[in-house]
């Protein structure tokens, strides 16, 4: 389900990007037909077109960075899944209840001899 949402989101970004490109192309055609030096009203359009060109370049750079990050993210996800599986396999061997006293195991803690820790 999340994949469909991500795909729809990406489609909307692509659609918006294509609309902006079409607008930019129209403005470039208008700029080339009437140079800003001959018509003063087009100087604002020229500035807007240049600003849009910078925005498009920034979007392209961002998309390139995101595209390069995808394989790294996939590797991290794979490593996390492997770690999760290992932890799930380990959890099978962990007892659900640990007795509070060792006497339940037939040992009395008073009878244990800890000679390794005693100073002579």
Full residue range of the structural domain in which residue 66 is found: 2-95
What total number of domains does the chain contain?
1
* CA trace torsion 92, 97, 103, 108 (10° rounding): 70
Q: Which of 37, 57, 59 is nearest to 46 (CA)?
A: 37
**29 within a domain of the structure (yes/no):** yes
Quote the CA–CA distance of 72 and 50 in Å, as a whole number. Answer: 34
**28 within a domain of the structure (yes/no):** yes
Biggest CA–CA distance in the chain, Å, is 104
**109 within a domain of the structure (yes/no):** no
Q: Mean of the pLDDT values across residues 71-80?
A: 93
Quote the CA–CA distance of 27 and 19 in Å, as a whole number. Answer: 12
3-state secondary structure of 68: helix
- Interval 16-52: pLDDT, tens: 888 888 888 888 787 777 665 555 666 777 788 888 8
**25 within a domain of the structure (yes/no):** yes
Categorize the per-residue pLDDT at 74 as very low, low, confident or very high, splitting at 50, 70 and 90.
very high
**15 within a domain of the structure (yes/no):** yes
Quote the CA–CA distance of 89 and 105 in Å, as a whole number. Answer: 26
**110 within a domain of the structure (yes/no):** no
Categorize the per-residue pLDDT at 4 as very low, low, confident or very high, splitting at 50, 70 and 90.
low
**41 within a domain of the structure (yes/no):** yes
**100 within a domain of the structure (yes/no):** no
């Amino acid at each position: 389900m999340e994949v469909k949402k991500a795909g729809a989101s990406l489609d909307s970004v692509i659609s918006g990007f294509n609309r902006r490109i079409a607008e930019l192309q129209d403005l470039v055609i208008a700029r080339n037909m009437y140079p800003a030096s001959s018509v003063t009203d087009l100087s604002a359009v020229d500035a807007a077109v240049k600003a849009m060109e910078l925005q498009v370049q920034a979007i392209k750079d961002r998309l390139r960075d995101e595209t390069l990050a995808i394989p790294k993210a996939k590797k991290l996800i794979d490593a996390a899944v492997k770690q999760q599986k290992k932890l799930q396999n380990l959890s099978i061997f962990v007892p659900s209840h640990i007795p509070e006293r060792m006497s339940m195991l037939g040992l009395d803690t008073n009878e244990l001899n800890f000679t390794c820790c005693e100073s002579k």
